[in-house]
Amino acid sequence: MVIDMNEAQVRTLEQVRQVVGGIQALEFRRPEDDEGRYGWFEQVLRRFGYRQLSRADKGAVLAYLQRLSGYSRAQVTRLVARWVQALPLVKNYRRPEHAFARRYTAADVALLAEVDRATGGLSGPATACVLRRQRDVFKVPGFERLGDISVAHLYNLRSSAGYRAQRVVLTKTKPTRRVDIGVRRAPAPEGRAGFIRIDSVHQGDFDGIKGLYHINAVDCVTQWQVVATVQTISEAHLLPVIEHMLEQFPFEILGFHADNGSEYVNHRVAKLLDKLKAEFTRSRPRHSNDNGLAETKNGAVVRKEFGYSHASGSQRGSPSPGPCTPSVALCLWPAHAHRAPAHAGAGHACEWCTTDRATDHTTRLNSRCAIEAAACAAEA
């Protein structure tokens, strides 16, 4: 780029429009701090006599300030409005002088986690009683503040990030090594139903007890969603669950898209999809939207329904289920809720057909209603 002038030499509105349009090259070093930018704002506004400009010329100056300052249009407008009102250009947001004091420290949260670990996670009232006795009866140091904690705030501390960091361990999907299973690209349904996106949601490990995994599958076009719950995501447990989930969709499976987790990218799942003649695609690196639909359903449906708290299918020390007995809880979330269909006669009890559309309520279906729900979707 050829440097023709520096910013201080921009004196006319024609030069401003050339800079904004990219016609005129400009040498400008933006101040690093906000105070320096605010001072430069005042210089530019005084230089062009902003108060006396027409509406079109003011728009050109605003675009000029936005382009060189890096601020958004809304922030530039706010700063210019303050300057027009003869107010100082300073930051109005700062830390309050008298902020709320934090009563329970990180050491108290760690001590509460240790007590819950020792007692097995009692209810709030029982735990508050234990903390009070530790302070008043046994005179244990460190319980001075926890001895007065209310039951409501005890639950607040249990849901805090510091508490969960000590007791709950979330396992993220482990990517596989470079393999030739599936095609790394986004699915292309082109308006056709049957292209499934799938993802796993972990309920977290709690004090060494493994948490459940929710397998979330949703169709790209119809938003038909199936959720299953398993104790582990090993191939022995997960493969029959995936096969059973795919059977619940009321249309032919044409595509199967997953991230690069080893629970999906393996030869057994690829063999199952090859048997169904379904296309197997995987997410690409640095393309987070490839499986974005399943990720949004994880938060909007799975986390909203099951929450973030730990849930386990077996107690500590109990034997894990065999490879042929996976723990499955199957749910279906259809895409639309509308009037009862024509086939609904006396005694019809299809939950999906009788759901109020305005309530935005998540409706569960069992496999017996899948055929009726498919007929409802076809009528819609």
Task: Kindly state whether residues 63 and 121 are assigned to the same domain.
Answer: no
Query: Once rounded to an integer, what is the mean pLDDT over residues 16-35?
Result: 79
Q: Is residue 360 part of a domain?
A: no
Q: How far is CA 227 from CA 215, 230, 302, in A?
A: 6, 10, 8
Query: Once rounded to an integer, what is the mean pLDDT over residues 13-41?
Result: 82
What CATH number does residue 315 fall under? 3.30.420.10
CA distance linking residue 165 with residue 162, whole number of Å: 5
For residues 332 and 343, the model is more confident at 332
Residue 148: CB atoms within 10 Å: 13
For strands 225-230 and 213-219, give the pairing: antiparallel
pLDDT band at 343 (very low <50, low <70, confident <90, very high): very low
- Of 49, 84, 119, which residue is a domain's last? 84
Place of tokens 């977290």: 204
Nearest CA to 64 among 35, 23, 34? 23
Is the pLDDT reported for residue 335 higher than 80? no
Q: Is residue 249 part of a domain?
A: yes
Number of domains in the chain: 3
Range among 16-25, 165-174, 258-267, 340-349 rated most confident: 258-267
Q: Is residue 362 part of a domain?
A: no
For residues 301 and 362, the answer to whether their CB atoms sit within 8 Å is yes
Task: Kindly state whether residues 147 and 249 are assigned to the same domain.
Answer: no
**278-331 confidence digits (pLDDT tens):** 999 999 888 888 898 999 999 888 888 888 887 776 544 444 444 434 444 455
Task: Kindly state whether residues 73 and 127 are assigned to the same domain.
Answer: no
pLDDT band at 231 (very low <50, low <70, confident <90, very high): confident
Task: Kindly state whether residues 55 and 155 are assigned to the same domain.
Answer: no
Nearby residues of 53 by Cβ (< 8 Å), 6 or more positions away: 13, 61
For residues 368 and 53, the model is more confident at 53
Nearby residues of 218 by Cβ (< 8 Å), 6 or more positions away: 196, 197, 198, 224, 225, 226, 293, 294, 297
Is the pLDDT reported for residue 148 higher than 60? yes
**What SS3 state is found at 140?**
coil
Q: Is residue 339 part of a domain?
A: no
- Of 32, 51, 84, which residue is a domain's last? 84
Task: Kindly state whether residues 220 and 119 are assigned to the same domain.
Answer: no
Helical axes 151-158 vs 106-119, angle rounded to 10°: 90
Task: Kindly state whether residues 130 and 191 are assigned to the same domain.
Answer: no
Quote the tokens at residue 31.
Answer: 């101040």
DSSP state of 50: G
Q: Is residue 253 part of a domain?
A: yes
For residues 91 and 59, the model is more confident at 59
CA distance linking residue 376 with residue 255, whole number of Å: 23
Task: Kindly state whether residues 156 and 127 are assigned to the same domain.
Answer: yes
Q: What is the mean pLDDT of the chain?
A: 78
Task: Kindly state whether residues 43 and 159 are assigned to the same domain.
Answer: no
For residues 50 and 340, the model is more confident at 50
Q: Is residue 365 part of a domain?
A: no
For residues 302 and 216, the answer to whether their CB atoms sit within 8 Å is yes
Q: Is residue 173 part of a domain?
A: no
CA distance linking residue 258 with residue 244, whole number of Å: 17
Is the pLDDT reported for residue 93 higher than 50? yes
Task: Kindly state whether residues 57 and 20 are assigned to the same domain.
Answer: yes
Quote the tokens at residue 105.
Answer: 């420290």
Q: Is residue 234 part of a domain?
A: yes
Residue 218 burial (C-beta neighbours within 10 Å; 0-12, 13-18, 19+): buried
Instruction: State the pLDDT at residue 6.
Output: 64
Task: Kindly state whether residues 13 and 48 are assigned to the same domain.
Answer: yes
DSSP sequence for 236-305:
HHHHHHHHHHHHHSSS---EEEE-SBTTTSSHHHHHHHHHHT-EEEEPPTT-GGGGHHHHHHIIIIIIHH
Is the pLDDT reported for residue 145 higher than 90? yes
For residues 265 and 351, the model is more confident at 265
Is the pLDDT reported for residue 359 higher than 60? no
**Which residue blocks in the chain are alpha helix, DSSP H?**
13-21, 34-48, 55-69, 73-84, 106-119, 124-136, 151-158, 161-167, 235-248, 267-276, 292-297, 304-306, 370-379
Instruction: State the pLDDT at residue 323.
Output: 40
For residues 146 and 111, the answer to whether their CB atoms sit within 8 Å is yes
Which residues in 60-97 are b (16+ Cβ under 10 Å) and which e? bbbbbbbbbbebeeeebeebbebbeeeeebeeeeeeee
pLDDT band at 171 (very low <50, low <70, confident <90, very high): low
Instruction: State the pLDDT at residue 261.
Output: 85
For residues 184 and 284, the answer to whether their CB atoms sit within 8 Å is yes
- Of 317, 333, 349, which residue is a domain's last? 333
**172-226 confidence digits (pLDDT tens):** 666 656 667 888 888 889 899 999 999 999 888 887 788 889 999 999 999 999 9
Domain assignment of residue 239, given as a range? 183-333
Instruction: State the pLDDT at residue 365.
Output: 35
Residue 108: CB atoms within 10 Å: 20
Task: Kindly state whether residues 218 and 127 are assigned to the same domain.
Answer: no
Task: Kindly state whether residues 208 and 323 are assigned to the same domain.
Answer: yes
